[in-house]
């Protein structure tokens, strides 16, 4: 089933950079508390136009009565960010999910290296504030196309000065090229933890760079699921639901999630795009064809869970813990 939602009031909207606004939500009913959250968490906005979109929380994790997200007015928007920028207004209320965390922060790491790419700064900024509040060793590498398109700059620079945090900038328009992440991250140590959120090409370069440097403690968060290749949707399969004691045929071109819903089952779900994690399901038997934007390469290889909204079966049958 879809996760229960919270009724949230749009309390504040603020210009943060070219094409980026922050939106602060507070409980629509003042006597109701928002659930606590950890750095790296995101919430789903159930927008009035029928879309559900996930956005990372960027305010301090110590906050209890507000959630703040940053939203880029994406040129390739399919309606979510465009709605936020053009139609969402202070005073409106809308359902939001409780926070979920697919990008957890290792707070006890010897050192943390945070890498932000454009609007990917939102969870990174939350992590930076958390580690600074704990007095943990941390540095930030902030990459953007230009400074005018970089959000939270003044606040980040103020915190870096106050806490003596190492802050590195790479603006494409100033450097004349995208960042060489392997070069930027060299010499940081293989016992540090490395985090990156940004556009897909940057995340791919980050993973390659960390692998090249021998860094094992690597964490990423993607904006979108991995592109599904056409062959993935050409085969049907059968999904056996261990808890429900049901077998459901999933036809070619249809997701496991939609097939289960049509069969009368009610699995938890939200975004239907493989990025929110709500539909993550344990795999008991069978090999998965992963297309989500959450699991790491190691987690995919382990074949223990899958996002049933976008991932499929490589063979003819899957047994899931549903």
CA distance 203 to 189: 19
Residue 2 pLDDT class (50, 70, 90 cuts): low
In this prediction the pTM is: 0.87
| Nearest to 104, CA basis, from 38, 155, 44 | 38
Tell me the β-bridge partners of 96: 6, 45
Per residue in 143-162, pLDDT (tens digit) is 999 999 999 999 999 999 99
Residue 226 pLDDT class (50, 70, 90 cuts): low
Per residue in 3-46, pLDDT (tens digit) is 679 999 999 999 999 999 999 999 999 888 899 999 999 999 99
Q: Which two tokens stand for residue 4?
A: 């229960």
SS3 148: helix
CA distance 48 to 304: 35
Backbone torsions φ then ψ of 193, nearest 5 degrees: -105, 135
The answer to whether 131 and 124 have CB atoms below 8 angstroms apart is no
Helix, strand, coil percent values for the chain (each to nearest 5)? 25, 30, 45
Backbone torsions φ then ψ of 102, nearest 5 degrees: -105, 10
């Amino acid at each position: 089933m879809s996760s229960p939602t919270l009724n949230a009031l749009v309390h504040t909207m603020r210009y943060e950079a070219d094409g980026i606004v922050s939106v602060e939500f507070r409980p629509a009913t003042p006597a109701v508390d928002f659930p606590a959250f950890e750095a790296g968490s995101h919430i789903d906005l159930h927008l009035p136009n029928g879309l559900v979109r996930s956005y990372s929380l960027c305010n301090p994790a110590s906050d209890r009565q507000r959630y703040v997200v940053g939203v880029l007015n994406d040129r390739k928007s399919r309606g979510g960010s465009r709605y936020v920028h053009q139609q969402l207004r202070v005073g409106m209320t809308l359902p939001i999910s409780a926070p979920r965390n697919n990008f957890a922060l290792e707070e006890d790491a010897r050192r943390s290296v945070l890498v932000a790419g454009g609007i990917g700064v939102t969870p990174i900024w939350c992590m930076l504030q958390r580690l600074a509040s704990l007095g943990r060793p941390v540095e930030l590498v902030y990459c953007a196309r230009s400074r005018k398109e970089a959000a939270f700059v003044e606040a980040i620079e103020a915190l870096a000065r106050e806490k003596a945090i190492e802050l590195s900038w790479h603006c494409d328009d100033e450097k004349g090229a995208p960042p060489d992440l392997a070069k930027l991250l060299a010499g940081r140590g293989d016992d540090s933890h490395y985090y990156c959120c940004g556009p897909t090409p940057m995340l791919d370069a980050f993973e390659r760079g960390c692998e090249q440097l021998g860094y094992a403690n690597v964490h990423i968060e993607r904006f979108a699921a991995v592109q599904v290749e056409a062959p993935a949707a050409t085969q049907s399969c059968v999904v056996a639901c261990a808890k429900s004691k049901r077998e459901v045929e999933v036809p070619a071109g249809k997701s496991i999630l939609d097939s289960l819903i049509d069969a009368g089952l009610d699995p938890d779900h939200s975004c239907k795009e493989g990025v929110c994690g709500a539909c993550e399901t344990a795999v008991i038997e069978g090999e998965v064809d992963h297309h989500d934007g959450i699991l790491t390469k190691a987690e995919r290889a382990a074949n223990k869970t899958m996002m049933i909204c976008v991932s499929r079966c490589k063979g003819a049958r899957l047994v899931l813990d549903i």
